[in-house]
Amino acid sequence: MPMRTPKGYMLLVCQDLFNPELTHIMLKGVPIGFIERRKTTYRAIATNGRRKSFRGAKKALLYLVKQK
């Protein structure tokens, strides 16, 4: 499911083949991080090592975009 960021970039969200609970977030073909699902909360793991938990997947996505 591609999603547009505030600046209009296309975000590609692909499921991790080995761990379906994780989804990769790709921006222009470059991975910007992972979103990990824990029941109702989502944990954003940026490629620079920062991690943060959110109640919604969309907020976690936007957090990763801001980290980029």
**What is the C-alpha to C-alpha distance for residues 41 and 54, in angstroms, rounded to an integer?**
6
Predicted TM-score (pTM) of this structure: 0.73
Q: Structural domain boundaries of the chain?
A: 3-67
Q: How would DSSP label each residue in 12-55? A: EEEE-SS-TTEEEEEETTEEEEEEEEETTEEEEEETTS-EEEES
Q: Could you report the per-residue pLDDT of 13-62, keeping only the tens digit for each?
A: 888 888 888 889 888 888 899 999 888 899 999 988 899 999 988 888 88
Please write down the long-range contacts of 8-16, taking CB distance under 8 Å and 24 or more positions apart: 9/65, 11/61, 11/65, 13/61
